[in-house]
């Protein structure tokens, strides 16, 4: 039996996903300043910034299937409410962290609570039917778009009042949403539909099902689609260069403030929405998926080179506009991978791609912040834009794999 839906419950889920995306973006422009408040060595600041970004992704990678499974057992409502309450308290803990260790722990907790997006998506599935499913899931995409565009801008503006203010703002938003959900949100999963075992703990079989590593081993087996899977992983790795070092890079090269960083990152989000929401629908059918993928990768690689070489702030904005066109590549690649995968394995495929993206979000901050450190320590021997040269190289390898695969095809 499907749970009754209401405008209030769907609005709550939309707000939950929006706040999660806002929470990610809202603290990015000022996170280096928060670290700087607790440490003064530039190397430590850059290293810990990378650790913070990676730890969030690690927790997302492992916690998403776990929270989803817990919500299957005990209902969506309690898991969502506990996650929102935890997120609100966690942002406060990070705002007033007395040292880097507490800040690091807070960042890991935020990754755990942010994994509730899996549960929010399951809630939408529970309360949707054929008449409103597309519209309800469309709200999820809208929440992602609005959150990632508005988050950095709001964070930059709040950061002018102090580096901890964006954290306090994120805490207030999450606690307000918790209060709203506590009084308004009904449970979407009826008791008879829950998977409640008699033993009360996860069995060995259940643990295997929620283990995200297992699906990776299956998808990385030798197959005709493996080169595209590897190309996808490399594209996800190169695409993480902005979240990893954009704030550090623009601060070091142009002495940008949190407002300038937030505005630029918001422009990245707006450009991505325009290209993937509108331009892709026009260009990809005309170019074909194979050609669109190659064009997208060429633009991506050359765009990162442009980021590495920009000599003035206005060039950053020009590069953002140019690089956005690389957005035609990823939808084309996912379409090609999907075409080469049997229909009965599509669900497993999409879950595995999400796992790969999560893993790349773990490795990328460590790689790019370390290369940024090397550039700073070289005292001019290496360009400060070195992480973007690395990202361009990764995108180039991805392009090479795609070209080699095309050459082998009949």
What is residue 100's predicted lDDT score, i.e. its pLDDT? 83
pLDDT in tens, 357-388: 878 888 998 899 999 999 988 887 889 999 99
Element (H, E) at 27: none
CATH of domain 1-187+200-210: 1.20.1250.20
Tell me how far CA of residue 399 lies from CA of 232, 233, 248, in angstroms: 10, 12, 28
Q: Is 314 exposed, middle or buried (0-12, 13-18, 19+ CB in 10 A)?
A: exposed
Residue 189 · residue 71 · CB < 8 Å: yes
Is it the case that residue 209 has pLDDT exceeding 70?
A: no
HSE-up (13 A, CA, CB side) for residue 26? 24
Report which DSSP code applies to 388: H
Confidence at residue 141, expressed as pLDDT on a 0 to 100 scale: 63
DSSP 341: S
Give the model's pLDDT for residue 303. Answer: 96
Burial class (CB in 10 A: 0-12, 13-18, 19+), 153: buried
State the residue for tokens 């190309």.
231
Q: pLDDT digit string (tens) for 321-355?
A: 999 899 888 888 878 877 766 654 555 566 567 77
pLDDT tens-digit readout, 99-137: 888 888 888 888 777 766 777 777 777 776 666 665 666
Q: Where in the chain is the domain with CATH 1.20.1250.20?
A: 1-187+200-210, 211-410
Which tens digit of pLDDT belongs to each residue from 218-274? Answer: 666 767 778 888 999 999 999 989 888 998 899 889 999 888 988 888 888 888 878
Do 261 and 251 form a contact (C-beta atoms < 8 A)?
Answer: yes
**Residues 299-316: tens digit of each pLDDT:** 999 999 999 999 999 999
CA 304 to chain centre: 19
What is the C-alpha to C-alpha distance for residues 96 and 326, in angstroms, rounded to an integer?
40
Task: Give the residue among 154, 12, 2, 28 at the shortest CA–CA distance from 84.
Answer: 12
pLDDT digits (tens, 9 = 90+) for 20-33: 777 777 777 777 77
- Give the ranges where 31-41 is alpha helix by DSSP (H): 31-38
pLDDT (average), residues 89-95: 88
Lookup: tokens for 408: 């082998």
Rounded to 5°, angle at Cα 64 from 58 and 65: 120
Whole-number Å distance between alpha carbons of 38 and 277: 41
pLDDT at 344: 47
Neighbours of 178 (CB within 10 A): 23
Q: What is the pLDDT of residue 18?
A: 79
Separation CA 410–CA 135 (nearest Å): 41
Q: How far apart are CA 160 and CA 163, in angstroms?
A: 7
Which phi and psi (to 5°) does residue 347 adopt? Answer: -60, -45
The pLDDT of residue 318 = 95
DSSP result, 140-186: HHHHHHHHHHHHHHHHHHHHTT-TTHHHHHHHHHHHHHHHHHHHHPP
The confidence score (pLDDT) of residue 348 equals 55
CA distance 369 to 392: 15
Q: What is the pLDDT of residues 173-205, one digit of tens each?
A: 888 888 888 887 887 777 776 666 555 555 555
Class at the top of the CATH hierarchy for domain 211-410: mainly alpha
Q: What is the pTM of this model?
A: 0.76
Per-residue model confidence (pLDDT) at position 278: 79
Highest mean pLDDT, choosing among 40-54, 80-94, 148-162, 176-190: 80-94
């Amino acid at each position: 039996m499907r749970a009754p839906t209401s405008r209030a419950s769907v609005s709550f889920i939309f707000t939950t996903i929006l706040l999660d995306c806002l929470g990610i973006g809202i603290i990015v422009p000022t996170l280096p300043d928060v670290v700087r408040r607790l440490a003064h060595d530039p190397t430590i600041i850059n290293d810990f910034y990378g650790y913070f970004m990676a730890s969030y992704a690690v927790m997302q990678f492992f916690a998403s299937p776990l929270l989803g499974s817990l919500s299957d057992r005990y209902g969506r409502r309690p898991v969502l409410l506990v996650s929102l309450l935890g997120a609100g308290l966690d942002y406060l803990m990070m705002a007033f962290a007395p040292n880097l260790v507490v800040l690091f722990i807070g960042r890991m907790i935020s990754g755990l609570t942010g994994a509730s997006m899996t549960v929010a998506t399951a809630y939408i599935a529970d309360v949707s039917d054929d008449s409103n499913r597309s519209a309800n899931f469309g709200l999820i995409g809208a929440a992602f778009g609005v959150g990632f565009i508005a988050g950095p801008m709001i964070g930059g503006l709040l950061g002018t009042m102090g580096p901890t203010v964006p954290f306090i703002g994120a805490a207030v938003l999450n606690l307000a949403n918790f209060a709203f959900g506590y009084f308004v949100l009904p449970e979407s999963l009826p008791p008879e539909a829950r998977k409640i075992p008699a033993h009360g703990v996860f069995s060995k079989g259940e643990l295997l099902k929620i283990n995200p590593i297992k699906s990776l081993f299956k998808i990385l087996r030798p197959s005709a689609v493996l080169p595209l899977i590897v190309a996808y992983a490399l594209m996800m790795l190169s695409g993480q260069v902005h979240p990893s070092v954009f704030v550090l890079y623009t601060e070091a090269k142009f002495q940008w403030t949190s407002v300038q960083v937030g505005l630029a990152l918001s422009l990245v989000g707006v450009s991505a929405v325009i290209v993937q929401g509108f331009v892709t629908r026009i260009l990809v059918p005309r170019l074909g998926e194979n050609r669109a993928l190659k064009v997208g990768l060429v633009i991506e690689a050359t765009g990162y080179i442009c980021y590495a070489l920009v000599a003035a702030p206005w060039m950053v904005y020009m590069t953002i506009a140019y690089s956005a066109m690389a957005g035609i590549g990823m939808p084309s690649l996912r379409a090609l991978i999907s075409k080469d995968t049997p229909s009965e394995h599509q669900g497993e495929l999409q879950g595995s791609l999400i796992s790969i993206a999560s893993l790349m979000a773990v490795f990328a901050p460590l790689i790019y912040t370390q290369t940024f450190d090397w550039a700073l320590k070289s005292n001019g021997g290496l360009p400060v834009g070195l992480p973007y040269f690395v990202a361009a190289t990764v995108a180039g390898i991805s392009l090479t794999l795609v070209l080699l695969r095309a050459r082998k095809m009949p």
